[in-house]
Structure 1
């Protein structure tokens, strides 16, 4: 086993008290995440950031009223990959968040970034959402298509990683999709339950747990045996 820790989107805009898309309890995760970052059993440590252009398709303010209410309304988006433009998905609209080169896109100072080996900036394509640190909403991984700054799957594979442990926010969106894509990419995928928080507490995590376990992703604890055995 060779394990990687992926710290997902621990950014100012996702954290109380001032984040524009704040997830309850997100900032309180920092001590647990830092403890995991310091664990000698992780061979690779990655941090992801949403890093959107101001004209991003998911921002409610970029669409006309009345069908532009954040959390409630959605928009149709098309696959940006050449030759696949007819493939579409519905995208939930969000408040403006994690805009490139703004303080809201910064990882919170409580996270020990000195341990990070790779920073993945994602969601930079204006016309497609990218929750997962591996791929956009259509499964595209090529940085030339999705405007992510690196191919995470190749980075981990090149370093012999077998197991991926995912933490951060939000458990029912970016953490979930990162863990699902890790499993699709052939890694043993795990989500550390006490090191993640959800946009929708309670029901959001329950639904995420169902999807994750159905895909073979294991739900673990930071003090559980799965992490204790890492050396």
Structure 2
């Protein structure tokens, strides 16, 4: 009998602010996928189960209210971010602005109670540096980890509090399965970064929803082009 490679389930940002009815940046039907995720959390295929949380400071660069008008309309406005890593200041990226969400210590940043959280053995808080966006649970928008960023003010410069790639490799994980919110942002970038890090990476389709659900077909193609498999729950047994 062949032993299957060790697998991890990453549950991305199942937080109050991303879920209806009261989330500041609610994803349509976001709360409805909790039963699917709970069934996966209880699945014997997974030896490691990870919960990620957006965990932003109040002055985060992605919050529209932190920018002057007229270029401060949530969802519509964009700004230019500069790489905060020393020596990389010439590198820039365009960043969409969002409503204030998942602020450190607030109820909106907490995991939804419908999630069967007792299964999680790793928790990752991300997006903690004010000066840069972080969708992926592996690194910020420029590929930085906390170790490559400078100490700023009273903070420690971290974008994330766990080096997820290192944790997975230490646990001899080969396969990574990603679910959660949202499919067109944090789920997508987490799954793509998992593939870049050398893991077999999959998104479980029933376990995610998108900010723009009409774009899921294009997102699936983007994932596949990046080496990420898009699968159904029933396909888990064959992987």
Q: What range is the shorter-chain TM-score in?
A: over 0.9
Deviation at 1:144, TM superposition (A): 5.4
Q: Which residue of 2 aligns with 1:94?
A: 98
Q: Which residue of 2 aligns with 1:40?
A: 44
**Cα offsets for 1:130-157 (capped at 9, x unmatched):** 0000010001124552431010000000
Equivalent positions of 1:14-29 (< 5 A) are 14-29=18-33
Q: Which residue of 2 aligns with 1:52?
A: 56
SS of 2:233 mapped into structure 1: coil
Q: Which runs of 5+ in 1 are unaligned?
A: none
Q: Which residue of 1 aligns with 2:218?
A: 207
Q: Which residue of 2 aligns with 1:192?
A: 204
Equivalent positions of 1:216-227 (< 5 A) are 216-224=227-235, 227=236
- The answer (yes or no) to whether the contact 2:140–2:159 under 8 Å persists in 1 is no
Q: Which residue of 2 aligns with 1:149?
A: 161
Pick one of 178, 183, 199 that aligns with 1:166.
178
Q: Whole-Å Cα distance in 1 between the matches of residues 219 and 144 of structure 2?
A: 22
Equivalent positions of 1:69-84 (< 5 A) are 69-84=73-88
Pick one of 132, 140, 157 that aligns with 1:136.
140
Q: Which residue of 2 aligns with 1:179?
A: 191
Deviation at 1:214, TM superposition (A): 0.3
SS of 2:40 mapped into structure 1: helix
- The answer (yes or no) to whether the contact 2:139–2:159 under 8 Å persists in 1 is no
- The answer (yes or no) to whether the contact 2:85–2:148 under 8 Å persists in 1 is no
Q: Whole-Å Cα distance in 1 between the matches of residues 211 and 25 of structure 2?
A: 9
Equivalences, count? 227
- The answer (yes or no) to whether the contact 1:143–1:151 under 8 Å persists in 2 is no
- The answer (yes or no) to whether the contact 2:79–2:94 under 8 Å persists in 1 is yes
- The answer (yes or no) to whether the contact 1:4–1:163 under 8 Å persists in 2 is yes
Q: Whole-Å Cα distance in 2 between the matches of residues 133 and 207 of structure 1?
A: 22
**Cα offsets for 1:181-223 (capped at 9, x unmatched):** 00000000000001000000122x1221121000110000112
1:125–1:105 Cα change, 3 Å: same
- The answer (yes or no) to whether the contact 1:143–1:149 under 8 Å persists in 2 is no
Deviation at 1:6, TM superposition (A): 0.1
SS of 1:202 mapped into structure 2: helix
- The answer (yes or no) to whether the contact 1:55–1:126 under 8 Å persists in 2 is yes
1:199–1:119 Cα change, 3 Å: same
SS of 1:125 mapped into structure 2: coil
Q: Whole-Å Cα distance in 2 between the matches of residues 33 and 168 of structure 1?
A: 8
TM-score by length of 1: 0.96
Q: Whole-Å Cα distance in 2 between the matches of residues 73 and 61 of structure 1?
A: 11
Q: Which runs of 5+ in 2 are unaligned?
A: 150-157
